[in-house]
Structure 1
Amino acid sequence: MNITVYEKPTCTTCRNLNKLFEEKGIDWKKVNYFIEPFTETKLSALLKKAGMKPFDVLRRAEPDFKLAGIDKDSSDKDVIAAMVKFPSIIQRPIVEVGDKAVLARPIEKALEIL
């Protein structure tokens, strides 16, 4: 089973998920999406696997959210483009396993797709 966690290493929730996986002996690949940025295609596919709309995974309190120029009436395409341009507005961590994905908030949600 290939498990990929899309994260920001300084994020407390991401660090807690890593600790949980370590404690459970789970092998996974970490992807810092600030260093290895999402493409619109990859992000769209990931959200589809999670069954989530792009606007539902936004960090609306982030300063970059205002800069992104999107709101609840923006098209999914425009929201995804903003997420790629401003990765800080993406909720994290996102866990991908095969044809499934989940926003691991709380972190235990990641265990549901393993």
Structure 2
Amino acid sequence: MPRYFSEEHEWIEVDGDSATIGITDYAQGQLGDIVFVEVPAAGATVAKGKEAAVVESVKAASDVYAPVSGTVIEGNAALEDDPALVNTAPEGDGWFFKLTIADKGELDGLMDEVKYKAFVASL
């Protein structure tokens, strides 16, 4: 499944017309120990570039932005009980939400893994 990255350090893994979204390992490293995550509810509509979730760490609270527009299928309920999953598996079990993609054309502005790694190295 193709995976894309945003300049705001979100990742999106596409499977047909649906996708799973979370924050990158780089992002969780910048945040530090995650203590709370608020994910969108199923049925919520999110817009590309707009706030979709909230993550709080011992350092700060930060918004998680939707890398594409769509309708949320599922929020990761496991993060309510164990927000530290974002630290231990940010690009795996620590995903934030799944959605149905409204416009696959929005994927065109995102980076592949090679470009994202170069982007992070330039920071």
Shared fold (TM-score greater than 0.5)?
A: no
Bigger fraction of residues in strand: 2
Structure with more of its chain in helix, by fraction: 1
Q: Larger relative CO (CA 8 A, sep 6+): 1 or 2?
A: 1
Q: What's the TM-score, normalizing by structure 2? A: 0.27
TM-score scaled by length of structure 1: 0.28
